[in-house]
Structure 1
Amino acid sequence: MDLPDAFRALADWAADSSPLYETICRGIAEDQTLLDLAEEVPPDRWAPHIMLSAVHYLLLNGADHTLARFYPSLTDSPEDPGAAYPNFRNFCVTHADDLIPLLRHRRTQTNAVSRCAGLYPAFCYIDHQTSMPLGLLELGTSAGLNLNWNRYAYGYDSEWFGTTDSNVTVQSSVRSGSPPLQQSPPAVNTRLGIDLNPLDPTDSSDAAWLRALVWPEHTERLDLLDAALEQTQTDPPRVVADDAVETLVNHATSMPDDETLVIYHTAFLYQLSEDQRNTLHQALATIGERRPVWWLSGDGETDSSGTFGLELTRFPDGDSVQLGQYEQHGRWIDWCDT
Structure 2
Amino acid sequence: MSLKIISERFRRFAIRECRGSSELYEQLSLNVAEDEEILRLASAARSGQPIPNLLFGAVHYLLLKGYTHELREFYGSIVDRPRNPQHAFPYFRDFCIHYQEDITAMLTNKLVQTNEVRRCAYLYPSFCFIYDMVKKPLSLIEIGTSAGLQLAWDKYRYDYGSHVTYGNPHSNVLIASEVRGERFPFLLPKSPPIAERIGIDLHVNDLQNEEDCLWMQALIWPEHKERRELFQKAARCLQQTPVRFIEGDGIALLPNIVATIPEDTIICVFHTHVANQIPDKAKQLLIKQIREIGQMRDIFHLYNNMWDTKLHLDYFIDGIEHNEIVAETDGHARWFRWELDHS
TM-score of the two chains, using structure 2 as the length reference:
0.89
Structure-2 residue corresponding to 1:168 = 173
For 2:38 and 2:283, locate their aligned partners in 1 and report how far apart those are by CA, in whole Å.
36
Structure 1 position 120 matched with structure 2 position 124: yes
Q: Which amino acid aligns with 1:319?
A: H
Structure 1 position 16 matched with structure 2 position 50: no
2:136 to 114, 132, 136: 132
How many angstroms does 1:300 deviate by? 6.4
For 1:76 and 1:330, locate their aligned partners in 2 and report how far apart those are by CA, in whole Å.
25
Structure-1 residue corresponding to 2:152 = 148
2:32 to 28, 33, 53: 28
How many angstroms does 1:299 deviate by? 4.5
How many angstroms does 1:143 deviate by? 1.6
1:5 to 2, 5, 8: 8
Q: Gaps (5+ residues) in structure 2? A: none
Secondary structure of the equivalent of 1:79?
coil
Residues 72-115 of structure 1, C-alpha deviations (whole Å, 9 max, x = no match): 22223111101111211222233334323212211111111111
Verify the 8 A CA contact 2:197 2:242 in the aligned structure 1: no
Aligned length in residues: 334
Residues 150-190 of structure 1, C-alpha deviations (whole Å, 9 max, x = no match): 01111110220101221211101222323221111001020
Structure 1 position 324 matched with structure 2 position 330: no
Structure-2 residue corresponding to 1:84 = 88
311 and 234 in structure 1: CA distance in 2 versus 1, 3 angstrom threshold:
closer
89 and 333 in structure 1: CA distance in 2 versus 1, 3 angstrom threshold:
closer
For 1:332 and 1:5, locate their aligned partners in 2 and report how far apart those are by CA, in whole Å.
27
207 and 308 in structure 1: CA distance in 2 versus 1, 3 angstrom threshold:
farther
Secondary structure of the equivalent of 1:67?
helix
Q: Gaps (5+ residues) in structure 1? A: none
**Alignment map for 1:1-338 (pairs within 5 Å):** 2=3, 3-13=6-16, 14-157=18-161, 158-175=163-180, 176-235=182-241, 237-299=243-305, 308-315=310-317, 316-335=319-338, 336-338=340-342
TM-score of the two chains, using structure 1 as the length reference:
0.90
Q: Which amino acid aligns with 1:120?
A: Y
216 and 241 in structure 1: CA distance in 2 versus 1, 3 angstrom threshold:
same
Cα RMSD of the aligned pairs, angstroms, is: 2.2
Residues 96-155 of structure 1, C-alpha deviations (whole Å, 9 max, x = no match): 343232122111111111111111011111111223211111122222111110011111
Q: Which amino acid aligns with 2:332?
A: H
For 1:269 and 1:35, locate their aligned partners in 2 and report how far apart those are by CA, in whole Å.
24
My pick for the range that moved more, 263-272 or 30-39, is 30-39
